[in-house]
Amino acid sequence: MNKTTTLVIVASLGLLGAMVSCSSSNTSGTPAPPAGGSAGAAGSTATGGASGQGGSGGTTNTGGSSGTGGTVATGGSAGVGGGGTGGGGGTGGSDLDGGTDGGKCGKLTTLHPPSADAGTLTLYCPFSSTTDGGSNIYCDHASQHCCEPKSGTSSCTAKATACGATDTDWVCEDPSDCGGNQMCCGKGTLVKSLDPKCGNYASGFTGTYCAAQCAAGEIQMCTSDGQCTGSKSCLPFGTKGAQVGGCY
């Protein structure tokens, strides 16, 4: 074999090797773009990271300031206003009178029948407490009446002793406070409130007394419907410092 033939063979082998090499690198290069593409897809997860920005939507936490809206609970202080003031009904005379006497909306009242086990101590005496925040007392209806002054402390006084000229004289509040099937009569005019949010009241009220029959225009005092005649019922009303009832 001469030199020329050898060179041709070598050159041919080299060309064949180059072709094989080129072909194999070409083949390995084919998946490269997809691989590069998948990297691109991974890059999209980076964009997906923008959902992380959506996480800043976690500022819905600030929406938690609706928790501050929980200050509605402070409205619960209405609870304080509501409960506390209502309790004043037992002693607060000024918030019971309404209409022409009080010039304002009087508070709503309820009926208070005498306690069955109280004996003769059934005559409620408003503003009779001698201590701040203390309870008012009940007079012995058999021997006493309650004198309620315009200001100051009320007291249970012997029936033989008259109340002051400007006092409200409470002799009875229920027919049972009077003996001999007498009526308990209120000196004043019972007025039914037209506003359901305001309490009923008595105009020109000066006190109560016992009699066989109440005078025309006066109030027949009661604590239950059964004590009234005809189609009348016992209407709760507030006057001075007491929550009482009258047939209406």
- 51-66, pLDDT tens digit by residue? 334 333 333 333 333 3
Task: Answer whether residue 170 shows pLDDT above 50.
Answer: yes
Q: Which residue would you say has higher pLDDT here, 68 or 117?
A: 117
Percent of the chain with pLDDT over 70: 58
Calculate mean pLDDT across residues 190-215. Answer: 96
- Lowest model confidence (mean pLDDT) among 9-23, 94-108, 215-229: 9-23
Confidence of residue 77 (pLDDT cuts 50, 70, 90): very low
The whole-number pLDDT of residue 98 equals: 58
Task: Answer whether residue 186 shows pLDDT above 70.
Answer: yes
Q: How far apart are CA 247 and CA 160, in angstroms?
A: 29
Calculate mean pLDDT across residues 43-54. Answer: 37
The whole-number pLDDT of residue 85 equals: 21
Calculate mean pLDDT across residues 151-177. Answer: 97
Confidence of residue 132 (pLDDT cuts 50, 70, 90): confident
Calculate mean pLDDT across residues 216-244. Answer: 97
Summary mean pLDDT of the chain: 72
- DSSP secondary structure of the chain: --HHHHHHHHHHHHHHHHHHHHHHHHHHHSSHHHHHHHHHHHHHHHHHTHHHHHHHGGGHHHHGGGGGGGGGGGGGHHHHHHHHHHHGGGT-STTT--HHHHSS-PPP----PPPTTSTT--EEETT--SSTTPPPEEE-TTTEEEEE-SSS--EEEETTSPPPTTSEEES-SSGGGSSTTPEEEEEEEEE--SSTTS--EEEEEEEEEEESSPPTTSEEB-SSGGGS-TT--EEEEEETTEEEEEE-
Task: Answer whether residue 121 shows pLDDT above 50.
Answer: yes
Is the pTM value of this prediction over 0.75?
Answer: no
Calculate mean pLDDT across residues 199-227. Answer: 97
Q: Which of 63-67, 101-105, 112-116, 167-171 is the most confident on average?
A: 167-171
Residue 84, both tokens:
């506390």
Calculate mean pLDDT across residues 188-194. Answer: 96
- Lowest model confidence (mean pLDDT) among 46-55, 93-102, 121-130: 46-55
Q: Which of 33-47, 48-62, 71-85, 234-248 is the most confident on average?
A: 234-248
Q: Which residue would you say has higher pLDDT here, 104 or 107?
A: 107
Calculate mean pLDDT across residues 117-146. Answer: 95
